[in-house]
Every structure is written in structure tokens, then in C-alpha cells.
Structure 1
């Protein structure tokens, strides 16, 4: 007997057209949130302030903070950061609060650093595997964010891989820089490279210097051909590789602004346009000589006590190329 039912691929069967990336771009099935270059116009971010019970659940070192955090002061910093983004026309989403901790009573105490908790691609989010046992389980907050917003999960880092989102940057749509150090190991970098290659991009492996948490701490993308880097503490061979690839690399000196006031911890909101923390005047002036505009400065005295700045706190969800 001939099969005619659509359920068995008869005449009424409708094959799904196109590619997964098309589904994302068109919206409807998946949220049209994607990142393919880290200098494109920023349109959507995720922010979070952990509950007071977690911020005070242990001494600073146990929580991987630099000082005891005041929950109300941290909320103030995060609210100001959120308003700064909204004033620039950027949509702010809230990372879901942590659920009961299970085996890790500190899980979520560092989730204000949302940049670490996902790496957005053209095909959806890469879910990390956090390097520290203190942050183990924060990945679940990212998964709930993806479920709430309709963001597909492109890959979840597994096996013996370690990877945090601040260790990957889209230099171009066909080139991803991945930092190897304490937070991202070789196994994690291989899994990121597999995903990047599936999306048509190659991976440039760079070393994260001792005493720096992530690649984001030494390298920032400003435009298609312009990078900023703390070159004096990077591997000179890595800096040469970037320049050999055609990038102009702005040397950012190891000033008090950079080391103490987190001036390098800025966010690119559009090509050659950045959001910076207060206390970054000289760094902003240096970047201005390369045509980079600081569109706003944000005070983050409490956030900095947690060992991160506004770039660490900003989960990058979507960027749109400007014509």
C-alpha cells in the first residue's frame, strides 16, 4: 500500500528549508540574538546582581572576591550600568537568579560577571564549564537565560574541558581569539575551535599571562582592523601574530588606571565607540588618538571589589553590523 500520510513523508510532508543560522536571523523560532564580530553595534546584554545571602556567604577569599561586598552598593553599581546601556539604546536582560546550590553553597556569588557565563556566536550560545569549583553551577543560570529568551545552545563545553566566555573574542567573522590560561584549558579551547570551525571561523590561540584572569583582561576588539592590548605583559609572539594578521594594536601601558581603576575593562558598544569605568581619563585619551570615542563613564567602586569591571559584568548577547 502506498504511503500517503504526511506523517510518513507523503505528499503533505513539508521539509524544513535553510540553515540553523537562518532560523536565528529571521526570528520566530529562535530569538534573533547573535554575535559574529566583537566590534559590531551592541544591541542586547545580560546583567545580574547576586542576592545578598550569596554575597555574604563566606569571607572574600572563599568567594573569590577581593573585599567584602556591600549588596546594596553592588546593586547601585549594576543599576547605573544598566541605565548607561539603556541610554545608549541597548536592551538589558536579567540573568536568572541562582537556584538552590546543591553541592556548591557559593554557586552564584560571582554571577555578576556574566561575560564569563556564555560566549555568543552566530549559531547561539556556547555554555562554558567554569574553571573554579566556587563558580561551578553558575552555568545553569545561563541555560535558564537561554530558555527564557529563546537562545539556542550551540554547544556545551564538556568532558575535561574548561572554558569561560571572557576567554573568547570574535576578531572577525572568520577569526576567533581564544585565551589559554587558568580559566580555559587545552581541552576547552579545542571544543571552542570545533564550534568556530563549524561556523566557518578559524581560531587563534593566545596565552593569558599569569596574574590575569581572562583574555579579555589583555585584549579588546575596537574595530575591524583595530585592537587594544596590554602588550607589555603579553607574549611578544602573540602580539606579532596579531599584527601579522593586519591588525593595528594599540599599546595600553601598565598604568595605575589600568591596574587599579580597571580602565582596560571597557565595553565596545559600536565600532571605535566604548563604555568605560570612571578613572580612565588617560586611557581614554590614548584611545582617542586612534579615533576611539568614550561615549560614557560608569562608576563601579563596589563591583571592582569583586575582582572585575564593567566588561566582566556585561554578558554580550547580540551585536548588529552597521552598514
Structure 2
């Protein structure tokens, strides 16, 4: 199969997702485990299913090939957020042990599945290296920005560079703020999402000046989210193709700014499945091929 995803906005041809039935499993399972996964309250399972149905239809209506991760004992609630245990490059998948201990074996389940459908493995970030997919942002096919924070460390970045040095020209290392602390889910893609080749939704308050200036110098229009909409995942959008995105419902100011710029916006109710676990539409998906 075709694979390779060194872009945040090219049209998604193939994608990997995991339904809540295989990740959250049941209300009983949520009741038992939401606190250890540090969710903002226990999700209501039946509401999650309704929210996901709308989200999934956006995916199946717009992406030709949709693959579903099965239930796996090596994974927990967070495995619904398929973006984080790996990155798909044009040379194959790179798997991450991840900084959140409870997600430490997700990469194994994902690797087993993807190799089974024909996506080769380029490598793995080995401990003590740490890395999560939400910290790896493609600027273009040969330029990548990497957030250096609690979830991604220097050793993880070093190994990633070694694995990709033959086809990446520039690495931009972006220091991440302390934010809400070590346990908070703060990735580089928590503060920036490209919605087109020349447009990105951002939360500048958490963005280093040099990186913000770099984006502006590249001609990127920065669409600012305020504190409230950042807190509600308003900077976590999935571009299905240039200028066509999915956004969690409840961020009207970001939505209005996007529409003013000609971006097509599809929204879904996501309080239970996205907000409580801090995983927006990008987190819920792992594009396997963009063209």
C-alpha cells in the first residue's frame, strides 16, 4: 500500500483510527481507569459513541482508505488517540515508547497491525529516549519542527534525527513551556495546527518568539486562539486536505476566523471523547498517506 505522511495538510488518502468500543470498551472500564489516565472527569460512554459516530462519518466521507485498530490488552483508554505512538515517513514508520508511562506499549500494538497491512518499520525510539507524535510537526516534506518538553526529550530527538537524516534537511527544536505541569498533555501540536499550506491556528502565548517569527517569515498566516478556546482544544484541528478541516464544536471564534479566510470547517461534539482526555481531531487520527 502507499504510505508516507510528511505533511500536515496534503489530502489524506489512508488513515488509522480506533473506535471507542475498542479503546474505552465500556462504562465500567471508564469508571475504573479514567482517574489513572488523568482525564478531566469520567467520560459518559453512550455519549462518546454518539460523538464518535459524527466524527467517524467525516473521516469515512473524506478519506478513501480507513483502517481500524483492534482492541488490545497492551493498550488503555488513550489508545483512541492513534496519532501519538508513531510517525509515518516515506521510508516507513518510526515508533515511540512515549513519555506517558500508561501508553508505553501502544507502539507494539500499532506496529503489529501496520506491518500486517504492508507498512514497513523504519525504526523505534529506544529508552531513555522519549517522543510522542504530537510533538512532531511537518513544516514541509523536508522540514520538521519538534517540541522538546516533558513528553519528548533530547535523546528521543537525537534518535529521530539519526533515523531521518537521509531525507530531512532541517530540524527546528521548539522548547515547550511547563504549562500546567509534568502530567499535563502539552505537545507542540497543542499550540499549532496547520489548516492549509499557508495558514495555521496557533496559541501564541505558549509559542517561543523565534518559532513564531519563523512561521511568519515563511509566509504563514497565524490564526490566533484565545485562552478559552485553547483550553477547549481549539488549536487542535485535523486538515483532511488543504483548506478543509475538522474542529471540535465549541470554539466559535476560531471557527469564524477560519471561515472568513475561506477554510471549510466541519465540527463535532467532543466534550466526552476529546476534551476529557485532551485529544482533539488530530490526536484521534493517524494519517498513513497524504498526497
* TM-score by shorter chain over 0.5: yes
CA distance in structure 2 between the partners assigned to 1:70 and 1:291 by the alignment: 35
- Return 71-80 or 161-170, whichever deviates more: 71-80
Match runs of 1:100-119 below 5 Å: 101=74, 107-119=75-87
Q: Is this contact kept in 2: 1:117–1:315, CA < 8 A?
A: no
Q: 1:98 aligns with which of 60, 72, 85?
A: 72
Change (3 A) 1:170 1:200: same
Change (3 A) 1:306 1:253: closer
CA distance in structure 2 between the partners assigned to 1:251 and 1:86 by the alignment: 28
Q: How many residue pairs align between the two structures?
A: 280
Residue 248 (structure 1) aligns with: 220
2:201 corresponds to 1:228: yes
2:263 corresponds to 1:319: no
When the two structures are superposed, what TM-score results if normalisation uses the length of structure 2? Answer: 0.89
Residue 173 (structure 1) aligns with: 141
**Displacement of 1:153 after TM fit?**
1.0
Q: Is this contact kept in 2: 1:176–1:196, CA < 8 A?
A: no
Change (3 A) 1:62 1:111: same
2:47 corresponds to 1:73: yes
Change (3 A) 1:206 1:311: same
When the two structures are superposed, what TM-score results if normalisation uses the length of structure 1? Answer: 0.80
Match runs of 1:117-132 below 5 Å: 117-132=85-100
CA distance in structure 1 between the partners assigned to 2:64 and 2:172 by the alignment: 29
**Displacement of 1:204 after TM fit?**
0.9
Gaps in structure 2 of 5+ consecutive residues: 180-184
Gaps in structure 1 of 5+ consecutive residues: 1-30, 102-106
Residue 237 (structure 2) aligns with: 266
CA distance in structure 2 between the partners assigned to 1:291 and 1:209 by the alignment: 32
CA distance in structure 1 between the partners assigned to 2:164 and 2:243 by the alignment: 25
Change (3 A) 1:251 1:297: closer
Residue 239 (structure 1) aligns with: 212
CA distance in structure 2 between the partners assigned to 1:195 and 1:243 by the alignment: 29
CA distance in structure 1 between the partners assigned to 2:230 and 2:246 by the alignment: 15
2:114 corresponds to 1:146: yes
Change (3 A) 1:135 1:79: same
Residue 163 (structure 2) aligns with: 195
Whose radius of gyration is greater, 1 or 2? 1
CA distance in structure 2 between the partners assigned to 1:133 and 1:200 by the alignment: 29
Q: Which has the higher contact order (CA 8 A, sep 6+)?
A: 2
2:14 corresponds to 1:44: yes
Q: Is this contact kept in 2: 1:257–1:263, CA < 8 A?
A: yes
CA distance in structure 2 between the partners assigned to 1:34 and 1:268 by the alignment: 16
